[in-house]
Amino acid sequence: MSDELSKLPPNVQERLLRLQQLQQTLQSILAQKQQVDMEKNEVEQTLVELAKTADDAVIYKAVGSLLVKAEKAKVAEDLTERKSLLETRGTVIARQEERIRNQVKESQTKLQEDLSPVSGQPLS
């Protein structure tokens, strides 16, 4: 594979490398997005469950491996803030994803143009 790669013109090799890097970045962004989505779902679910409990219910919050007694209202406030932070992070990640996707597309198009005269057919 690397032998075949070295036969390509240096600028094409460079572009191919750049495309691979972009694809790796995209994978990492998608993993971050999944993580944020999962965390947001968990916080939302906890808020729903918390709303079902009585106002004077005894609530505990995890602090490392310890559970510390906490006020229901304060816990709900903290969770709502965490949800809002996760939503903001989600929006930022979505913007990054769109930008990288566009760059990947652009890089693929340029690579196809570069490779067409070499292979005689477009790269799928």
Partner 1 sequence: MTQRAPAEEELRRLSVEMRYLEQTAEALQQRISMVNTAIADLTYANATLDGIEKEKENAEMLVPIGGSSYVKVKLADPNKVIVGLGAGVSVEKTLTDAKATLKERLDELEKTMTSAQQQFSQVAERINTGRGRLESLLSDARQAKH
Which residues are paired to 70 by β-bridges? 59
DSSP state of 53: S
> What length does the chain have?
124
- Closest approach, Cβ 3 to partner 1, in A, equals 26
Q: DSSP code of 62?
A: E
> With binding defined as CB under 8 A, does residue 85 bind partner 1?
no
Indicate the residue among 11 and 45 with the shorter CB distance to partner 1: 45
Residue number with CB closer to partner 1 (36 or 43): 43
CA nearest 38: which of 106, 110, 89? 89
Q: Is 49 in the site for partner 1 (CB under 8 A)?
A: yes
Q: Which residues in this chain contact partner 1 in the complex, by CB under 8 A?
A: 39, 42-43, 45-46, 49-50, 53, 57-62, 67, 75, 79, 82
